[in-house]
Structure 1
Amino acid sequence: MSFTKIIVRYGETDAMGVVHHANYYLYFEVAREDLIKELGISYKELEESGVMLPLVETQCKYIEAAKYDDNLVVEATISQLTPVKVKVAYVIRREEDNKILAK
């Protein structure tokens, strides 16, 4: 399990200061990379050794909007690991109140 801190940047939001839905997937990707680093290897090293991690399925449940300048914590957990499949689960919380915003 890893915890990645992200501060919502202005360019990730719309005119109302709400994070565009596609940016949640960028946050997931940053957290996935941090999770792999915490396991002692980088994406680059995995790929150089012939291990590829293509994304074949994704979904996100949006619970409450993240907004400009929010401090977020993205929790990434390996929920399934087989010789041919790695499944990672994510939870995005607002740091201030620990409210779950997406998963």
Structure 2
Amino acid sequence: MHVSKSEIQVRYAETDQMGVVYHTNYLVWFEIGRTQLIEDLGFSYAGMEEEGVLSPVLDIHASYKKPVRYGQKAVIHTWIEKYDGLRVAYGYEIYDDQQDLCVTGTSSHICVKRENFRPISIKKYFPDWDKAYRLAKKQDAI
């Protein structure tokens, strides 16, 4: 399984009045992690969009364990949790600069044609992505 790592310097604008990262910012950080993972595998989300394909979120979940605060660094770990050739579920863990687990989550996506929002097969339209995702995904439990 390939795990991508992205580092974030927590900015003041991302925090609430208590200096704690506001909860919706973690979802933005998930996107940063997902984009980095795609680049690590040799692809570009922007390149996919240039071909008229979008990847909307079907479902997203976050579980908050410990706050990340202003001035800290956060590290986003991202991997492919599940992949079936049509849908992709990404897994996320966010750690603070003490290496404590702060947030876990998943997001599920499907690829669609931009003009009609109809789902497409990643395996058919992007065979290189399909191969890379199958090789990089989390192994199924036996």
Q: So what's the TM-score if we normalise by structure 2?
A: 0.69
Larger Rg: 2
List runs of 5+ in structure 2 lacking aligned partners. Answer: 105-142
More helix by share: 2
Q: Could you say which residue in structure 2 is the equivalent of 1:85?
A: 87
Cα RMSD, aligned residues only? 1.0
List runs of 5+ in structure 1 lacking aligned partners. Answer: none
Aligned residues: 102
Question: What is the CA deviation profile of residues 42-64 of structure 1, one whole-angstrom value per residue up to 9, with x for unaligned ones?
Answer: 11112223443111100100001
**Residues 37-52 of structure 1 aligned to structure 2 (within 5 Å):** 37-52=39-54
**Residues 55-70 of structure 1 aligned to structure 2 (within 5 Å):** 55-70=57-72
Q: Percent identity, please.
A: 35
Q: 2:8 aligns with which of 6, 9, 23?
A: 6
Residue type at the aligned position of 1:83: G
Tell which has more relative contact order, 1 or 2 (C-alpha 8 A, sep 6+): 1
Q: So what's the TM-score if we normalise by structure 1?
A: 0.94
Q: Which runs of 4+ in 1 moved over 4 A?
A: none
CA distance in 2, matches of 1:94, 1:19: 11
